[in-house]
Chain A
Amino acid sequence: MMKRNRKREPLRFGTVTRSLVVCVCVAVSGLCYVWQKNAIYRLGDEIKKRETALSSAQKRNLMLAAKLAQLESPVQLEETCQQYNLSLVAPRENQVVRLYEPGPEWDVQMANAPLAPQQAQARLQPRNSQPRTLATQ
């Protein structure tokens, strides 16, 4: 009797819907999991590629730095000068003009030095109206 009654019982919409929702949720979760896993692997591959590229760039950088050091070495520079017959020589002492850093000694001497008319004029003007230059110090 019971079996017969159950067969005759119509499908309940709510039950079907709930089942479908559960199935869809499970399917979506599964798909999401697979998609995420794929994304992780894909990003892993990307990271690996970037790591390889970074490593190659660093190695290349080291190579270039070594090459630069070699090119800048005094021995190499001298050889290059000779090879291209550049006749480069160090300047003689009389070709060198040495500039001295202004220090306290400079300030004292400049304060006591007689001023040119324009400089005297400039010294009379308020300091903020005249840009401070070496000549007016």
Chain B
Amino acid sequence: MTLAPQKGRALIVVGALASVFTALGFRLFDLHVLQHKELSALAQANREQVVHQQGRRGEILDANGNPLASSLSVRIATADATVTAPQAADIAQKLAPLLNMDVESLAQKLSGQSHYVRLNQRDKLDEDIVQKIRAMKLKGISFEDQFVRSYPNGSLASHVIGFVDAEHKGVQGIEASMEDYLQGQPGYEVIERDRKGREIRALRTEDIGPRDGFNVVLTIDQMVQHIAEQELEKAMAEFKPQAGVIIVSRPKTGEILAMSSRPTFDPTNMDAASADDRRNRCISDVAEPGSTFKIVVCSGALNEGIVTLNDQFDCENGAFMYAGRILHDAHPFGVLSVEEILFHSSNIGAAKVALRMGPVRLADYIHRYGFGHKTGIELPGEVSGIAHPLAKWNNLSITRIPMGHEIAVTPIQMLMAMNAIANNGVRMKPLIVRSIVDTDGTTIFQYRPEQVGQVVTPRACQLMTAALRKVVSPEGTAPKAALEGFDVAGKTGTAQKVENGQYVSKYYSSFIGYFPASNPEISILVSLDDPSGGAFYGGSVAGPVFRAVAEKVAEYLGMEPQTPRPEVSKLS
């Protein structure tokens, strides 16, 4: 009798429990079976973290393996400015002395709207400073390791090396042209962290290490570069030109041993460098070459057999009327041989040689020497120069181009033309990158000297060398470029500058020479833009700079002076 109500209540409880468990069962089924894919992915995402690792950028090395640019890993402090903004002043007060920063600028960084602000850009934070900052438990402040680019030699060869931007990407120079080789490949790790934020190493599921970038080995020798820069600096102080360049190369291979340009910049302090400072004038500045261009017309004429070194030309005592305009020489000359035209640098003589040669052949030699075309050096920003096609020449062109007017060339083009004469007429492509090597030193790619073509015959080059040797003799235009112990062949250039379409009393003073003349090993170009202080002739301004560079380079490279070799029997 009493069981009926109890049974009813029991049924209700059982029914309720059954309903609850059924609901739970359905929920579990829903979570574990129906939504399994989405939820497991969500759980994994909550648990796991992908840590990206930056590959180290490759080094730029000189010809002897000395680093010219390398990447260092430094710990930097970062801030989430949206978190630090309310207490920016207070945090800045605490951090500024530790980060060696100005309080106001730091407070400004901390009070922005960005979620990611780098506090110290380049200075390395020592571990004890990191611990001190961590101990302060400042919200929104964290640390990360980052690579920064280091240039151990400061501004040495900065125009060649270039620099990188904030994202560690090459902007100029080798840093930009070799970007594909230099940049490292990033890696990543999929990790799990404990509640203290430490990685649980055993639960690391993926570990793809970053690959370091390849190293780029240049033909630049940092010691030769230093010599060139030191002498250029001295010349800048002495003659106070607006700009100056020195290039040192090996004529037989086209290897560039030094490439120096002024004004210059420090790649570690790009804020202080103007666009003008950053320009590599050796490849991107064009100017009328002046008398150095006489090597083109004379070598061409000798090569064609149109003239010999002894052929005589009347230099009209310094004033030659042609096509209604008078062409002047710096000094009046009477009758000169081709050899004398070269070492006295007679404009009228060169013009008369060109007239005998004819415009078609002259234009052909300008093209053969590579003017009006990029040399193909592995540096960004090279320009072609201006060499008008024959169709655009006027009546005066045939007399003006031989003296280096109506044509604009880069210093590297002019040096490569002189190198062709030094190299028995073979024009070489300038070589500035020697090889690409990996971090173990294994060569990935080797750049080899590349012949562009035979411009003139070896015989014509021998004749040119004989004439150019006299340029540094006492009766030539550059006796101050002569070297003790070595015979030098070279050519001076003093080109008037053009401003607003008019020739003005400003000059490009230059000297290009090679030595030993009988077996050239080194060629050097020196060019100064608008030297002041009275002297402006290439022989008196650029000549002594050439000599100073050549003496030191010969000494450094251990080049044996051309004195009689000691008898072998004496050594025994």
**Contact residues of A with B, CB < 8 Å?**
40-41, 43-45, 47-48, 51, 58-59, 62-63, 65-66, 69-70, 72-75, 78, 90, 93, 98, 100, 105-106, 109-110, 113, 135
**Contact residues of B with A, CB < 8 Å?**
66-67, 70-73, 124, 145, 150, 152-154, 156, 199-204, 222-223, 226, 485, 552, 555-556, 560-561, 565-566, 568-569, 571-572
Alpha-carbon gap, A90 to B558, bound state (A): 11
B202 touches A62 (CB 8 A): no
A66 touches B568 (CB 8 A): no
A41 touches B156 (CB 8 A): no
A75 touches B555 (CB 8 A): no
Which A residues lie within 8 Å of B565 (CB)?
100
A69 touches B572 (CB 8 A): no
Alpha-carbon gap, A12 to B72, bound state (A): 75
Closest to A93 in B: B561
B572 touches A44 (CB 8 A): no
Q: A44-B200, A48-B201 are in contact. Are A63 and B72 (CB under 8 A)?
A: yes
Closest to B556 in A: A90
Q: A44-B202, A45-B201 are in contact. Are A62 and B152 (CB under 8 A)?
A: no
User: Measured between C-beta atoms, what is the minimum distance from B441 to chain A in Å?
Assistant: 14
Alpha-carbon gap, A71 to B318, bound state (A): 56
Alpha-carbon gap, A83 to B347, bound state (A): 50
Classify the secondary structure of B's interface with A. mixed
A66 touches B72 (CB 8 A): yes
List 16 A–B pairs whose Cβ atoms lie within 8 Å, in order of A's numbering: A44-B202, A48-B199, A48-B201, A58-B73, A65-B70, A69-B70, A73-B156, A74-B222, A74-B223, A74-B226, A78-B226, A90-B555, A93-B561, A98-B560, A100-B568, A135-B572
Closest to A90 in B: B555
Alpha-carbon gap, A73 to B204, bound state (A): 43
A72 touches B568 (CB 8 A): no
Which A residues lie within 8 Å of B223 (CB)?
74
Closest to A114 in B: B569
Q: A73-B153, A98-B560 are in contact. Are A41 and B572 (CB under 8 A)?
A: no
Alpha-carbon gap, A75 to B73, bound state (A): 24
Which A residues lie within 8 Å of B73 (CB)?
58-59, 62
- Looking at B124, B201, B485, B571, the one whose CB has the most chain A CB atoms below 10 A away is B201
Closest to A97 in B: B566
Which B residues lie within 8 Å of A70 (CB)?
152-153
A109 touches B569 (CB 8 A): yes
User: Measured between C-beta atoms, what is the minimum distance from A77 to chain B in Å?
Assistant: 9
Which B residues lie within 8 Å of A72 (CB)?
66
- Looking at A74, A100, A109, the one whose CB has the most chain B CB atoms below 10 A away is A74
Which A residues lie within 8 Å of B124 (CB)?
63
Which A residues lie within 8 Å of B71 (CB)?
62
User: Measured between C-beta atoms, what is the minimum distance from B74 to chain A in Å?
Assistant: 8
Alpha-carbon gap, A73 to B66, bound state (A): 9
A75 touches B70 (CB 8 A): no
